[in-house]
Amino acid sequence: MGIDESKYGDWRSEELSAKEVIKKYPDVPKFVVYKTDIQRRGVVFSKEAMKLFDPKVHSAAASCLFSNDQGYKQLD
């Protein structure tokens, strides 16, 4: 299943990037923009990132993707 591109065209290329959304809506916290963007588009971890992945420390489960027990950190 998925989007019928013959009907809708390449709709993703017309979407604003997270950086463009932040610029367009400066009053919305960056964390909210990035979190929403990641939830919509998904995440693919690079091979380099997976080499550093330690299951004792990190979680790649979707339910844990946005939890943070180390406090809030401002994103630049």
Query: pLDDT digits over 5-64, tens only?
Result: 677 667 667 789 899 999 999 999 999 999 888 888 877 888 998 898 888 887 766 555
Would you say residue 1 lies in a domain?
no
Kindly list the distances between the CA atom of residue 43 and the CA atoms of 7, 23, 24, 37, 58, in Å, as whole numbers in the listed order: 26, 22, 23, 10, 15
Q: Which residues contact 10 (CB under 8 A, 6 or more apart)?
A: none
User: Considering its fold, how many domains does the chain have in total?
Assistant: 1
Domain span at residue 45 reads 15-64
Residue 65's pLDDT is 56
Residue 44's pLDDT is 80
Would you say residue 35 lies in a domain?
yes
Residue 32's pLDDT is 92
Would you say residue 74 lies in a domain?
no
Is the separation of the CB atoms in 38 and 65 below 8 Å?
yes
Would you say residue 71 lies in a domain?
no
